[in-house]
Chains A and B, each alone.
Chain A
Amino acid sequence: MSFIPYAVAAWLFVIGLYGVVSSQNIVRTILCLTVVQSATYVLLLAVGYRTAASAPVVADIPPVTRLVDPTVQVLVLTDIVIEATITAVLLALAAQAHKRFGSLDPDDLRPLRG
Chain B
Amino acid sequence: MAPHIAALPVIVPFIAAAGLVVVRLFDRRWLNDVIAGGGMAASFTLCVILLVRAAHHPFAYWMGGWRPIHGVTIGISLSVDPLGAGLAAFAAFLVLAALAYAVRYFDAVSGLFQALMLLFGAAMVGFCLTGDLFNLVVFFELMGAAAYALTGYLIEEQAPIQGAINFAITNSIAGYAMFIGTALLYARTGALNMAQIGHALDGHPADPLVVVAMALLFVGFLTKAAAVPVHFWLADAHAVAPVPVCVLFSGVMIDLGVYAVARLYWVIFDGTLHPHMHALRVILVCIGAVTAVLGAGMCFVQRHIKRLLAFSSISHIGMFVCGVGLLEHKALAGVGVWVVGHGLNKAALFMCAGVLLHRFATIDEYDLHGRGREVPITGVLMGIGGLLLSGVPPFTSFAGKSLMEESATSTHYGWLIAVFTICSAVTGAAVLRVTGRVFLGWGPAQGPGDEEGQQGPAQEEEDEMEDSREHTSRMMLIVPGVLLIMAMAFALVPGLVPSVESDAARFTDHAGYATWVLQGHHVPSPVLPPSHIKTEDVLFGTLSAVLAIGLAALGLFGRSLQARVPAVIRVPWTAAVHAVRGLHSGHVGDYVAWWTAAASALGAICLLVLT
| B173 at the A interface (CB under 8 A) | yes
Give the docked Cα–Cα distance between A93 and B175 (Å): 19
Q: Is B470 an interface residue (CB 8 A)?
A: no
- Residue A20 is within 8 A (CB to CB) of chain B in the complex: yes
CB of B472 within 8 A of chain A?
A: no
User: CB of B451 within 8 A of chain A?
Assistant: no
Whether the pair B158, A79 counts as a contact (CB closer than 8 A) is: no
With A and B bound together, what is the CA distance between A103 and B596 in angstroms? 26
CB atoms of A97 and B148 under 8 A apart = no
- The docked-state distance in angstroms from the alpha carbon of A26 to that of B163 is 13
Within A76-111, which residues are at the interface with B (CB < 8 Å)?
78-79, 82, 85-86, 89-90, 93-94, 96-97, 100-101, 106-107, 109-111
Kindly list chain B residues whose C-beta atoms are within 8 Å of the C-beta of A101. 158, 161
Q: Is B165 an interface residue (CB 8 A)?
A: yes
B447 at the interface (CB under 8 A from A): no
Known: A71-B192, A96-B155. A107 touches B582 (CB 8 A): no
Interface stretch (choices B138-146, B490-498, B548-556, B558-566): B138-146
B156 adjacent to A100 (CB under 8 Å): yes
Distance of A50 Cα from B545 Cα, bound (Å): 62
Assess A94 versus B236: contact at CB under 8 Å? Given A13-B176, A37-B176, A111-B459. no
User: Nearest chain A CB to B176's CB is how many angstroms away?
Assistant: 5
Interfacial chain A residues near B192, Cβ < 8 Å = 71
Measured as residues with beta carbon below 8 angstroms from the partner, the interface class of chain A is 35 or more
Chain A, interface SS category: helix
**Does residue B207 face the partner (Cβ distance < 8 Å to A)?**
no
Which among A20, A44, A71 has the greatest number of chain B C-beta atoms within 10 A? A20
A90 CA / B152 CA spacing, docked (Å): 10
- Give the distance in Å from the alpha carbon of A47 to the alpha carbon of B175 in the complex: 19
Residue of A nearest to B186 (CB): A47
Q: State A71–B402 Cα separation when bound (angstroms).
A: 46
Q: Does A110 contact B176, Cβ atoms closer than 8 Å?
A: no
- A–B complex contacts, Cβ < 8 Å, 25 sampled: A20-B173, A20-B588, A20-B589, A20-B592, A21-B590, A26-B588, A29-B169, A30-B169, A37-B172, A39-B176, A39-B180, A40-B176, A40-B183, A47-B183, A71-B186, A72-B183, A72-B186, A93-B161, A93-B164, A100-B157, A106-B587, A106-B589, A112-B236, A112-B240, A112-B462
Which residues of B are interface residues toward A (Cβ below 8 A)?
Answer: 134, 138, 141-142, 144-145, 148-149, 152, 155-159, 161-165, 168-169, 172-173, 175-176, 179-180, 182-183, 186-187, 192, 235-236, 239-240, 307, 459-460, 462, 581-582, 584-590, 592-593, 596
A97-B162, A113-B459 known; 18 other A-B pairs, CB under 8 Å? A20-B173, A23-B589, A33-B172, A33-B173, A37-B176, A44-B183, A75-B182, A75-B183, A82-B175, A89-B145, A89-B168, A93-B152, A93-B155, A93-B168, A96-B152, A100-B157, A107-B587, A111-B460
